[in-house]
Amino acid sequence: MKNFNICFSLLLSVFNLNAQNTPHEICGYQHEVERIMKSKPNFLKWQEAWFREALDKYNELQSSKRGDITADTLYFEIPVVFHILYNNNAENINDSLIHNQIVELNRAFRKMTKDTSRIRNIFKPIAADVRIQFKLATIDENGNPTSGITRTFTTRTTFATNIYGSYSNNMKVGGSGGKTAWNPARYMNVWVCDMEFPNYIGIVYGFATPPTGAPNWDNSITKDTSDLESGIVLHYKVVGVKNPLAPSKYVEGKTAVHEVGHYLGLRHVWGDGNSANGCLVDDGIFDTPNARVANATCGGQNTCVDASNDKPDMTENYMDYALDGCAAMYTKEQAFIMRYVLNNLRPGLPYREIVFDTAVAPIEGLQVNVYPNPIGGSKTLKVKITEAVSQPYTLNIIDMSGKQVITQNFMSNVVTPVEAAELANAVYYLTISNQSGRIFYKKAIITQ
């Protein structure tokens, strides 16, 4: 869309949206925004500020000689834990659905689903390979092996609280019929539970907590990496691909893709306005066409006609409501926003799992120690290479935009401190090269 004109008064509850002639409400994003604003009334203002910051960075990179930002080869991999809360066997969904949900998520974030062919030609050039991947956690909070799936019996038959789709957050509270999050700074928590109320009129199939606590926010705001409500909730019937209980239109596993978009900072493509003012309400993203309301069907619609560069509504976008049969893409700017969020607002998530494409030619038998990681309070990283004969090496620390932030020469067989006090809290990557310039070691490091 075209501007950052977010109208606070247009915030609608999920239930008001239901009352209008909009698609069946499937997502509790607005409800979550309203909940956050009760304790953080400036949430939208802050969100707008970090969107601006991120998009300034995007434009800077686009206009630099780096050219297309999608040429960036860095990948993130996020460890995920699914918490299954069940009161009956049907809710205790099979592992296979969780596994195929992860596969679908990964395909969606690499622009590799079979649905890529759905993208109309007009949008193909801006469809992004987001280069974020997801992996069921293999190590739990205590360092023990895990399948990345927890199963907890609950006495609650539903987490919805009325026929209109209102819900509680008890699924995230151990002792209240839920399961307490694993450290949200280290894992993406996904709760799977029953969100149906008997004889419901509205239902929320999923919701996610948007990131809070951006660097430019008030100091009193806690980063939600320590917020035990940080994560994603999915109705058990929409998890996975071809879930046998899924309502029609929700069999492709796209609800989870949509909610991960919110979790990584994206808003709905129509900006969550209402039909009267929807063309004035924005999602903060420039390469998604302006749209008045959510779309329930594929293609064709053009609910906001712009004065220049007008495009139809992007029903192919995962952040619209059309989903099954339509959804197949994130845009390049959405991709950048999600990567920015991961690097700046949820920096601990990909720490263990990060991979990147820096060419590395390992040297057999060379023992390298880089610690502590995360760097922690002392803000000093230590490096030591152990070998028979001491020789010089070069250490580089590079931020996620590819900028070199620290270079330091050191000798092997000595513990060398690397001062990192100047580095903002984020993920960086570290490489070590020998005298001939051969990069033989790489590691993701985090300062926090």
- Residue 163, burial from CB neighbour count under 10 angstroms (0-12, 13-18, 19+): middle
Report the nearest approach of Zn ion to the CB of residue 202 (Å): 14
Q: Which is nearer to Zn ion, 29 or 428 (CB)?
A: 29
Q: Which is nearer to Zn ion, 58 or 270 (CB)?
A: 270
Q: Which is nearer to Zn ion, 27 or 293 (CB)?
A: 27
Q: Which is nearer to Zn ion, 27 or 279 (CB)?
A: 27
CA distance 330 to 74: 17
Report the nearest approach of Zn ion to the CB of residue 23 (Å): 11
Structure tokens at 173: 């509270």
Q: Which is nearer to Zn ion, 29 or 250 (CB)?
A: 29
Q: Which is nearer to Zn ion, 72 or 333 (CB)?
A: 333
- Note the residues at the interface with Zn ion (CB under 5 A): 27, 29
CA distance 317 to 298: 10
Contact 116, 104 (CB under 8 A): no
- Ranked by CB distance to Zn ion, the top (closest) residue is 27
CA distance 184 to 228: 6
Report the nearest approach of Zn ion to the CB of residue 84 (Å): 22
Report the nearest approach of Zn ion to the CB of residue 417 (Å): 46
Q: Parallel, antiparallel, or unpaired for β 380-386 and 232-235?
A: unpaired
Report the nearest approach of Zn ion to the CB of residue 17 (Å): 11
Q: Which is nearer to Zn ion, 321 or 441 (CB)?
A: 321
Q: Of the listed 25, 259, 316, 353, which one is catalytic?
A: 259
Indicate the angle between helix axes 254-263 and 95-109, nearest 10 degrees: 60
Report the nearest approach of Zn ion to the CB of residue 263 (Å): 10
Report the nearest approach of Zn ion to the CB of residue 220 (Å): 28
Report the nearest approach of Zn ion to the CB of residue 425 (Å): 28
Residue 259 annotated to the active site: yes
CA distance 185 to 282: 29
Q: Minimal CA–CA distance to 237: which of 225, 250, 226?
A: 250
Q: Which is nearer to Zn ion, 260 or 304 (CB)?
A: 260
Catalytic residues: 259
